[in-house]
């Protein structure tokens, strides 16, 4: 199976990015929504970003409206909400589909690389999280109920594995 560097995605401002921009970084990729019971996790995701970004973590948020229509707004409104409500500064992307035939290729890859409970590839709800190592390999999948702070140990372990020993 390939690595994330093979994929591209539009950011929240409509600019195409190659995920190869993030090679050598630990990534936390999350499908997000502004009107969900888990929306307060934006604060925890931002806290992780601020705590670990200098060490090599990048949080990537992908808005998705496939779960209870909890992300109905356009990208401008999503960006404004995230900024004004949670002071989000980590990269946000354009809305994507994460399930079904029209799921974004990145999300198809994430789901195949790290199936959920009982081997299901489907994303069950907003704020499903995928952790990717510095080589672009998916190393973990976390449920919506997993709070961002609970990922600190896994993130630190991956960041430490990237640091050359002297």
Q: How far is CA 114 from CA 67, 108, 123, 139, 160, in A?
A: 20, 10, 11, 7, 22
Active-site annotation holds for 82: no
Q: Which two tokens stand for residue 66?
A: 């496939």
Return per-residue pLDDT of the chain as tens, 166 residues: 567 888 999 999 999 999 999 999 999 999 999 999 999 999 999 999 999 999 999 999 999 999 999 999 999 999 999 999 999 999 999 999 999 999 999 999 999 998 877 777 899 999 999 999 999 999 999 999 999 999 999 999 999 988 665 4
Nearest to 100 by CA among 49, 54, 66, 58: 66
Structurally, what CATH architecture does the domain formed by 4-161 represent? 3-Layer(aba) Sandwich (3.40)
Q: Where do the structural domains in the chain lie, given as residue ranges? A: 4-161
H/E stretch holding 42 reads helix 41-52
**Nearest residue to 130 (alpha-carbon basis) of 2, 37, 31, 11:** 31
**Does the model's pTM come out above 0.75?**
yes
- Among candidate residues 36, 60, 78, 132, the one labeled active-site is 36
């Amino acid at each position: 199976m390939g690595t994330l560097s093979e994929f591209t995605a539009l950011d929240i401002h409509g600019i195409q990015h190659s995920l190869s921009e993030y090679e050598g970084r630990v990534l936390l990729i999350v499908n997000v929504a502004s009107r969900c019971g888990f929306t307060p996790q934006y604060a925890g995701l931002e806290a992780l970003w601020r705590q670990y970004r200098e060490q090599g973590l990048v949080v990537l948020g992908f808005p998705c409206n496939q779960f209870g229509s909890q992300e109905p707004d356009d990208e401008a409104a999503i960006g404004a909400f995230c900024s004004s409500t949670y002071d989000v500064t980590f990269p946000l992307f354009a809305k994507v589909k994460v399930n079904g035939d029209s799921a974004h290729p990145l999300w198809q890859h994430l789901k195949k690389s790290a199936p959920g409970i009982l081997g299901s590839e489907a994303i069950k709800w907003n704020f499903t999280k995928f952790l990717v190592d510095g080589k672009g390999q998916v190393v973990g999948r976390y449920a919506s109920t997993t709070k961002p702070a609970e990922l600190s140990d896994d993130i630190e372990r991956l960041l430490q594995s990237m640091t050359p020993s002297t």
